[in-house]
Structure 1
Amino acid sequence: MSSSEFLNLIVTNSNNDSYSVERRFKKDVSIAEFKNKLELIVGCQSNLMKLEIYNKNDDIVCQPNENDRTLGSYPVEDGMRVHVVGDSEQTNEEGVRKFELSQEEYSKRSDTLKAFLKEHKLGKYDEEEAKKKEEQKQQELKNEERLLSAMKVGDRCEVIVPGNPKRRATVMYIGKTDFKSGWWVGVKYDEPFGKNDGSVAGKKYFECFDKYGGFVKPTCVVVGDFPEESIDLDEEL
Structure 2
Amino acid sequence: MCKLELIVGSPASCMELQLFSAEDKFIGSLDQDDALLGSYPVDDRCRIHVIDQSGVKIGEFEDVSKVIKYEMSNEAYDKRADSMRLFLKQSKLGLYNEEQKEKDKIELERRVQEEKALADAIRVGARCEVVISGQPSKRGTVMYVGQTDFKPGYWIGLKYDEPLGKHDGSVNGKRYFQCQYKYGAFVKPQSVTVGDYPEEDYGLNDEM
State the TM-score, normalizing by the size of structure 1.
Answer: 0.51
Superposed, which structure 2 residues align to 1:125-136 within 5 Å?
A: 125-136=96-107
1:148 to 90, 99, 119: 119
Q: Are the equivalent residues in 1 in contact too, given 2:162–2:202 (CA < 8 A)?
A: no
SS in 1 for 2:158: strand
Using the alignment, how far apart are the partners of 1:99 and 1:176 within structure 2? 44
Residue 212 of structure 1 deviates from its aligned partner by 0.8
In the superposition, relative to structure 1, how do residues 231 and 166 fare at CA in structure 2: closer, same or farther (>3 Å)? closer
After superposing on structure 2, the runs of 4+ consecutive aligned residues of structure 1 that deviate more than 3 Å are 91-94, 98-102, 104-116
Task: Name 1:202's counterpart in structure 2.
Answer: 173
Task: Name 1:177's counterpart in structure 2.
Answer: 148
Q: What residue identity is the alignment partner of 2:166?
A: K
Is residue 91 of structure 2 the alignment partner of residue 116 of structure 1?
no
Using the alignment, how far apart are the partners of 2:145 and 2:185 within structure 1? 12
% identical aligned pairs: 50
Is residue 188 of structure 2 the alignment partner of residue 217 of structure 1?
yes
Q: What residue identity is the alignment partner of 2:141?
A: T
2:157 to 158, 167, 186: 186
Residue 109 of structure 1 deviates from its aligned partner by 5.7
Task: Name 1:162's counterpart in structure 2.
Answer: 133
Instruction: Tell me the alpha carbon deviations over residues 22-50 of structure 1, each in whole angstroms, 9 at most, x when there is no partner.
Output: xxxxxxxxxxxxxxxxxxxxxxxxxxxxx
Q: What residue identity is the alignment partner of 2:155?
A: W
Structure of larger gyration radius: 2
What's the C-alpha RMSD, in Å, of the aligned pairs?
3.0
Residue 164 of structure 1 deviates from its aligned partner by 0.8
Q: Which runs of 5+ in 2 are unaligned?
A: 1-63, 204-208
Using the alignment, how far apart are the partners of 2:105 and 2:160 within structure 1? 33
Using the alignment, how far apart are the partners of 2:101 and 2:158 within structure 1? 33
Using the alignment, how far apart are the partners of 2:76 and 2:140 within structure 1? 49
Q: Which runs of 5+ in 1 are unaligned?
A: 1-90, 233-237
SS in 2 for 1:118: helix
Task: Name 2:25's counterpart in structure 1.
Answer: none
Q: What residue identity is the alignment partner of 1:150?
A: A
Using the alignment, how far apart are the partners of 1:109 and 1:181 within structure 2? 38
SS in 2 for 1:222: strand
Using the alignment, how far apart are the partners of 1:207 and 1:214 within structure 2? 11
Provide the aligned length of Structure 1 versus Structure 2: 140
Superposed, which structure 2 residues align to 1:39-78 within 5 Å?
A: none
